[in-house]
Amino acid sequence: MLAVLSPGQGSQKPGFLTPWLDLPGAAARLRWWSALAGVDLAYLGTEAGAEEIRDTARTQPLLVAAALLAAEHLPVYDVTLTAGHSVGELGAAALAGVLTPESAVTLAGVRGREMAAACALEPTGMSAVLGGDPEEVLAAVDRHGLYPANRNGAGQLVAAGAVDNLAKLAAEPPARARVIALQVAGAFHTRYMAPAEEALAGMAAGITPADPARILLSNLDGSAVNNGREMLQRLVRQVTAPVRWDLCMRTMADLGVTGVLELPPAGTLAGLVKRELKGDGAPEIVTLNTPDDLPAARDLIARHGSTAGHEPAISFRVVVAGTAGTFTPADLPEGTEVRTGQVIGHVVTRQGPVEVKAHGNGLLTEWLAHSDDPVAPGQPLARIGGQL
């Protein structure tokens, strides 16, 4: 199974888009997306300095555009799973078919501008906490009135909040942990971003999303999201909600991901996956940074993608589990006609049963999981074909 990852803020490097502009149509595409995002993406990706592309209002649309520009040169129809980190979720949602590239870039432009404006309201920031006992780190963050904005796994947590409280955390770090101040404009993924969430919600209300055509993981809880409207709501909510990249990686491990491809500017997420998913089942990883890396990326997709013998193939007609638990199918024999929104089973969790609904009209052609089977988020449960 292949996972394609779209990176988030902090992964950008000066000039990283320069080699991509030599590809046919790339410059024209960036001009169009620049008009939608309200920033000059070609300039930012080729000539702008590090300080310019650290600006949240510029960085966010630049990263989404870069990932989607590179993806246009890949056979994404063979990709099984997509996920993005923070603003990278917009790129992942476009790769999954929930958003058009134009919608993703437009939303990234709004998101970046509004988050930058929210950062200017009061002095806030973020600090990486490396190492230490996870529970002790969380307790220390809470004790100092901060928020765990990013839980990235691999011994890395990002705390966010008022700059005075971040200074206190640095002065009294958790045992066996280091606190490193990050060069960011403010406390992303916390209540401080509420004005940006409200503005993004207003823009997103005018978009009609599609249901994902492949497994799409959510930063909110690492679950696979089947419904396009729900994913769009999650993308808006993520502005103030913590990024649970640790749970996204756990879902990848549960699903048995064998290959990971990170889109440009690649390296950060690949490093986290490498440190977290170790051992005999560690996935093969390719980082795509320049067009010279495209042959290796295409080869990875050919060997680990949906046409490489991995069954069942994931498509919009495959119903997948949204959460982990034990599956209880409805009393529906194969061949039964089902309708959009019809409950075809439940995933029983510690918090109670979660409904599994058909997201298309058709025939229940095959059960892919059976009664009392343990299931992971994104695991195929049933195949619905022959739409009515």
Active site residues: 86, 189
Q: Could you give the 3-state DSSP secondary structure of residue 253?
A: helix
CA–CA–CA angle 21, 216, 259 (5° rounding): 70
Which residues are within 8 A (CB) of 259 and not within 5 positions of it... i.e. 6 or more apart? 1, 2, 3, 283, 284, 285, 286, 300, 301, 303, 304, 305
Helix axes 101-119, 88-95, angle to 10 degrees: 170
Distances (CA, A) of 135 to 153, 166, 244, 255, 340: 13, 18, 15, 26, 42
Token pair listed for 177 = 């942990």
Contact yes or no for 87/60 (Cβ under 8 A): yes
Contact yes or no for 118/186 (Cβ under 8 A): yes
DSSP letter for each residue of 84-139: ESTTHHHHHHHHTTSS-HHHHHHHHHHHHHHHHHHHTTS-EEEEEEEES-HHHHHH
Edge-to-edge strands, sheet with 325-329: 352-357, 343-349, 325-329, 373-375
> CA 108 to CA 325: how far, in whole Å?
34
